[in-house]
Structure 1
C-alpha cells in the first residue's frame, strides 16, 4: 500500500479527532475568570520600584545565560514571551532553542520521508511544517493541561495547610515555605519557587502575582487576590483562606458534575466524527485503488475537503452546546 495516501488519511483522522477532543474536552474558565478578576486585580496590585528593578536584573541574567541558538530562535519568534510562558507552565526545563530544534528536526524528517516516497515537493513541505509546528505545540499543551489539573486537584489541601500554619502563629511567608516542602507535585514546586523569590528580595505580592500569571488558573488568582486584599484591609486571613478552600472544593465538584452530564454528548460526537474515517479505512483495506481517487480526482478532493469543513463546523457547534462557564 503506498505510504503517501495512508499518511494523508492518518493526518486527516488525527486532525479531526484532535479537533473534536480539544473542542469537547470541557469548559475553560480562563476567559470568564479573566473578565471577573482583571478589574479587581488592577485595583489591588501594589507596584514597587524595587521589585521592578529586581525583575529587570533577573531578566538580564537569564538573557546572558541563554545559549546562542536560544537567542537566534527568539529573534525569529513573533511572540517570544508567550512561548516562554507556555514552556515554563509545563514544569520542564525546556528552552526556546530546544523547542526550535525539535520543531525543525521533525519538520525536516517528515518532509524528507515524503520526498523519498515520491510525494511532490510542495506537499512534502506543507505536511512537514504541519507536523513540525503542530506536534510540539500539542505536546506542550498536553503537559500544561496535565500539570494544571494536578495543581488544581491538590491546591485546596495546600490552602488547608496554610490555614493550620497561620492558626498556629506562623507568619504567611514562613507558612508558604512550609507548604512548599510538605506538598508534593506542582503545588510544592510553585510554593517553593515563591519562597525562593522572597528570599532574594521579591515581595510577597509580586511573587504571588508572577506565579498566578504563569499558571493562568482562576483558583490561584483567587488565592492571590485574597492575600493582597487582606494585606491592605486587614482581617482574619486564616478564616478567609478556609472559606476560599471550601469554595474551591465546591467549584471542583461542580466541574465534575458538568463533565459527567456532558460526557454522553462528547462521546457521541467523537464516535460520529470518527465513523467516516473508520469506514474510509475499512474500504481502503478492501480496495485501495478505488479509494485512491479521493487523492487524484479533483471533484473528490473538493468533496472531501468540504466534508472536513462541515465536520469541523459541527464539532464547533457541539462544543458551544456543552460549554459551561463556572
Structure 2
C-alpha cells in the first residue's frame, strides 16, 4: 500500500489542482445563484417603487448605474485613502444610494398623498352635496388638486373610462398607494355602494378621523424628536472622535488600520452602533 510520501508529486499536484478547481467552480455557482436571486429581488422591488413614483426608468438601468457608482467610488476611495477596505465600504454605500433615493422619493410622495387626502375627501363631500356623482367628484379632484393625489385620481378616471369597474379601479389605486387611510376610504365607498346611505356624510367623518390622527401623529413626532436626535448624535460622536484623534495623532490608529484584528474591531464597533440606533429608533417609534 502506497503512503503519501510514495505518491508521485505530479499526481499530488494534479489532485490539488483538481480539488481547487472544483472548489472554485462550486463557489462560483453559489455566488452566481445568490447574485441572480438578489438581482431578481432588487429589480422587482425597484420596478414597483419606480412605477409608484411615476419614474419611467427601467429598473435594470438603475442597477447598472448602482454598479458603475460602486466601481467609481470604490476605486477613487482606494486611490485617495490607500485603503481597499474603506473603498469597498464606500462603494457599497454608493451601490445602495440609487435604490435608497427611490425609496426616499416614494416615502415623501406617500406622506404628501396622506396630507392631501383630507382635503380631497372634503372636496368629494362638498361635490356630492352639490349634486355631483362620484365619478364627477373624482374628476374634480383630478382638475383642482396638485400631484400626487391628482395623478392617482387621473389614473383612476382613465381606468373607469376604458371599462374597468370602479371597485377594481379603487383597489388598483390602493395597491399603488398602500395606506390605512386610503384603505378606509375605499372600504367606505364600496360599502356605501352596496348598502346605500349618505356618502357625503361618510366622507366628512373619515376626513375628520384622519385629520385627528394626523394631529396625534404630529404631537408624537414632536415629543419623540429629542430621542431621535440623541440617537443620531450618539451614533456620530464616536466616528467624529475617531477622525479627530487620527488627525491629532495619526500613529495612534496605525494598529487599527494596518491589521485584520483592528478592522475586526471596527466591524464590531459598527455593528454595535447600528444596533444601538435601531434600539433607540424602536423605542421612540409609536404607532398611532
Q: Distance in 1 between matches of 2:185 and 2:83?
A: 54
Aligned to 2:40: 77
**Which residue in 1 is equivalent to 2:153?**
191
- TM superposition outliers: structure 1 runs of 4+ over 4 Å: 73-76, 114-120, 122-127
Name the structure, 1 or 2, with higher relative contact order (CA <8 Å, separation 6+).
Answer: 1
Matches within 5 A, 1:42-81: 76-78=39-41, 80-81=43-44
**In structure 2, distance between residues paired with 1:147 and 1:156:** 15
| Contact residue 43 and residue 60 of structure 2 kept, 8 A | no
Greater gyration radius: 2
Q: What displacement does 1:136 show?
A: 1.0
1:324 and 2:286 are equivalent in the alignment: yes
Look up the match of 2:266.
304
The 5-angstrom pairing of residues 181-220 of structure 1 reads: 181-220=143-182
**CA–CA separation in structure 2 for the residues paired with 1:311 and 1:119:** 22
8 Å Cα contact 2:46/2:99 also seen in 1:
no
Q: Does 1:179 align with 2:148?
A: no
Deviations 1:274-312 (A, max 9, x none): 110111111122223322432213333222222222222
2:53 is aligned with 1:90: yes
**What is the CA-CA distance between 1:175 and the residue it aligns to?**
0.9
Q: 2:187 aligns with which of 225, 248, 253?
A: 225
Matched pairs, number: 252
Matching residue of 2:23: none
- CA distance, structure 1, for counterparts of residue 78 and residue 233 of structure 2: 34
Cross-structure match for 2:9: none
In the alignment, what sits opposite 1:48? none
TM-score, with length taken from structure 2: 0.80
Question: 1:276 pairs with 216, 234, 238, which one?
Answer: 238
Counterpart of 2:132?
170
Counterpart-to-counterpart distance in 1, 2:158 and 2:37: 27
Matches of 2:254 and 2:122, distance apart in 1: 61
Deviation at 1:80, TM superposition (A): 4.4
Q: CA deviation at 1:92?
A: 2.5
Structure 1: distance between partners of 2:42 and 2:163: 29
Aligned match of 1:100: 63
In 2, distance between residues paired with 1:146 and 1:247? Answer: 22
Contact 1:74 1:96 (8 Å CA) reproduced = no
The answer to whether 1:150 aligns with 2:106 is no
How far did 1:154 drift? 1.5
| 1:109 matched to 2:72 | yes
Structure 1 unpaired stretches of 5+: 1-72
The answer as to whether partners of 1:110 and 1:131 remain within 8 angstroms in 2 is no
Secondary structure of the structure 1 residue equivalent to 2:193: helix
Q: Is 1:106–1:131's contact at 8 Å kept on the other side of the alignment?
A: no
Corresponding position: 1:266 with 2:228: yes
Distance 2:259 2:38 in 1: 43
